[in-house]
Structure 1
Amino acid sequence: MTHCDLHDHDFLHNSEHGERQVLMVLGLTLVTMVLEIGAGLIFNSMALTADGWHMGTHAAAFGITIFAYRYARKHAKNPRFSFGTGKVSVLGGFASAVALGVVAILMAVESIHRIIEPQDIRFNEAIAVAVIGLVVNLASAFLLKGEHHHHHGHDHAHSDDEDHNLKAAYFHVLADAVTSIAAIAALIFGRIFGWAVLDPVMGIVGSLVITKWAVGLMKETSGILLDGSVDPAVCEKIQQTVEDEKSLKVIDLHVWAVAPGHHAVILSVDSSNGWTPPQVKALLSGIGHLVHVNVEVHRV
């Protein structure tokens, strides 16, 4: 489908605000991810390897965010995209979730193997690398939190324009910090008390965390890709808003996501009082995130 007008479908307004900060955090995350996974393999620590792969899940999310920023900005007015490029990040997120689900399975299998056949762990070196990972996570959270608060403070009245990509990235690095703390605790207890089994157990825990994140992302993104996952309350609000006018009756309503948090609407109504499509459309102007509304009016 090709749309033939120049309707604005830019769903990432002012994306330059957060893109630079996310790019910096992506660089830090990638370097630390490689360090932790490499060190985990060298020092035989599944907890460290799991923490590294968990950072990898969020590195993928950051990469998708940056790609979505740039691709959507480049093609915002491209008429080849009927409803804009809002689903670019959704498609990337689904693909990443599938790949990370496979990684989680491999991690769990290897961790179980190491429970059955324990290996010597170089605790001191593994702990040092895990601490570096925690420091990087905290530094990344500081960068993203500072940027998020900066923009929120300058545009408090427009909460609908909040950079949700930046906010999501902030919570991603906080989750990384928690898993880093868990990995450090497992390694320390393993070193002090000789509980080496805690290390592969943390590997299993890490694989479960990644699996939960991947499955949640697959559910969220697949719904949008299939034009589903619209809160019924959105449809109910549209219908109620229109039918508050006693001379209007909704006879057909389709609502679907064209980007996260942005919905397109096709609406058919019966009118007994000469309503026009622009007048009906104006009734919906107070409902946020309706970015493409088509209205058909039937006279009765």
Structure 2
Amino acid sequence: MHTDHLDDWRHEHVFNQDRKRPGESRTLLIVIVTAVMMVVEIAAGLVYGSMALLADGLHMGSHAMALGIAVLAYVWSRKLAADQRFSFGVGKINSLAGFASAVLLLGFALLMVIESVDRFINPIPISFDQALIVAFVGLLVNGGSAWLLLSTPHDHHHGHDHHHGHDHNLRAAYLHVLADAVTSLLAIGALVAGKYLGANWLDPLMGIVGGALVARWSYGLIRETARVLLDAQAGDDLTGAVTASIETDSTDRVTDIHVWSIGHGIYAAEIAIVSDAPQSPAYYKSLIPGDFAIVHATIEIHRCNAH
């Protein structure tokens, strides 16, 4: 066979990773604003003696880092999308960065809880008025960020983009901002109670609550990203659906199947099939529905020994 004809049988491994996603610029703006507010809240928490404000700043920082990683990952993915050194593309950049940041944030959260417990034992004076002003500004920033995300146009470029587009990240960003708004409200509540009711113990309690929220979120992200980085098998619902789509003919049986994530919402698959009347690999690939987001499939076919 002439080598020029082989190009018809090759395919790229970019998998739309080189495409700029809608909302990316707005997300970057939110990252910058949130990061600035994080620095202000953490500094104010340290200066004014409020653990609730410190916890709110840390919580905001955790989400700013998550959104920043998503933006950076998209930028790097576009730069390296066609790089042949990456066997299945660059979709795991986001997971790698997410795993590293989650480990770092888990350490911060533990320090936050330890410091809050110490404040219970050894309380210090809190400058309630100044801390409340900063907490209110933080709440306004969260509200503005939520509005920006809600008004972001969605990506409808691809029929199944909800599986591997930017929409999922936008929804996640929106949830992060809402969580930040809740911790801002908790901080405000603790500071108001301390100022008017003398319940100063609520401030370090909110520090513990904030640290626990960040720790829980970090642990969840560590588990989720580790599964992607370790090529964990996709859920039984997806592998079962792929198997069912191929076993439409009574002569075809899937004897081995591996489906794993190679990026945000996109998968690779290796499937071994035994058949009385084997078809071509292209035929079996055509049976897998496109909305399963399996962008790279390797098919191994065996004729049944009994025939």
Matched with 1:298 is 302
Q: Does 1:170 align with 2:153?
A: no
Match of 1:121 among 114, 118, 126: 126
**Aligned CA-pair RMSD:** 1.9
Matched with 2:103 is 98
The alpha-carbon deviation at position 158 of structure 1 amounts to 5.5
In 2, Cα distance between equivalents of 1:157 and 1:219: 26
Tell whether the 8 Å contact from 1:10 to 1:72 is kept in structure 2 after alignment. no
The alpha-carbon deviation at position 163 of structure 1 amounts to 2.2
The alpha-carbon deviation at position 234 of structure 1 amounts to 0.8
In 1, Cα distance between equivalents of 2:172 and 2:123: 37
State the identity as a percent. 43
Matched with 2:215 is 211
The alpha-carbon deviation at position 204 of structure 1 amounts to 0.4
Matched with 2:285 is 281
The alpha-carbon deviation at position 167 of structure 1 amounts to 1.8
Tell whether the 8 Å contact from 2:260 to 2:268 is kept in structure 1 after alignment. yes
Q: Which moved more, 1:107-116 or 1:246-255?
A: 246-255
In 1, Cα distance between equivalents of 2:145 and 2:290: 37
The CA deviation string for residues 125-179 of structure 1, in whole angstroms up to 9 with x for no partner, is: 00000000000000011111100xx226898985444521222111111110111
Stretches of structure 1 that go unaligned for 5 or more consecutive residues are: none
In 2, Cα distance between equivalents of 1:255 and 1:283: 16
In 2, Cα distance between equivalents of 1:97 and 1:9: 27
TM-score of the superposition, structure 2-length normalised?
Answer: 0.91
Match of 2:79 among 60, 63, 74: 74
The AA in structure 2 aligned to 1:169 is: A
The CA deviation string for residues 34-88 of structure 1, in whole angstroms up to 9 with x for no partner, is: 0000000000000000000001100110110111110111111111110011100
Q: Which moved more, 1:201-210 or 1:16-25?
A: 16-25
The CA deviation string for residues 260-290 of structure 1, in whole angstroms up to 9 with x for no partner, is: 2111000110121231111011111344210
Q: 1:266 to 1:155 in 2, by over 3 A?
A: closer
Tell whether the 8 Å contact from 2:37 to 2:57 is kept in structure 1 after alignment. yes
In 1, Cα distance between equivalents of 2:287 and 2:29: 43
Matched with 2:65 is 60
Tell whether the 8 Å contact from 1:269 to 1:296 is kept in structure 2 after alignment. yes
Stretches of structure 2 that go unaligned for 5 or more consecutive residues are: 1-9
Q: 1:128 to 1:28 in 2, by over 3 A?
A: same
Matched with 2:154 is 151
The AA in structure 1 aligned to 2:197 is: F
In 2, Cα distance between equivalents of 1:237 and 1:255: 11
In 2, Cα distance between equivalents of 1:281 and 1:240: 13
Tell whether the 8 Å contact from 1:249 to 1:269 is kept in structure 2 after alignment. yes
SS of residue paired to 1:151:
coil
Tell whether the 8 Å contact from 1:141 to 1:170 is kept in structure 2 after alignment. yes
TM-score of the superposition, structure 1-length normalised?
Answer: 0.93
Q: 1:206 to 1:115 in 2, by over 3 A?
A: same
In 1, Cα distance between equivalents of 2:139 and 2:249: 57
Tell whether the 8 Å contact from 1:220 to 1:229 is kept in structure 2 after alignment. no
Matched ranges for 1:1-300 at <5 A: 6-12=11-17, 14-147=19-152, 150-151=153-154, 159-160=162-163, 161=165, 163-228=167-232, 230-300=234-304
SS of residue paired to 2:67:
helix
Q: 1:254 to 1:157 in 2, by over 3 A?
A: closer
Tell whether the 8 Å contact from 1:127 to 1:187 is kept in structure 2 after alignment. yes
The alpha-carbon deviation at position 96 of structure 1 amounts to 0.6
Q: Which moved more, 1:282-291 or 1:36-45?
A: 282-291
Q: Which moved more, 1:206-215 or 1:9-18?
A: 9-18
SS of residue paired to 1:244:
coil
The AA in structure 1 aligned to 2:212 is: L
The alpha-carbon deviation at position 231 of structure 1 amounts to 1.0
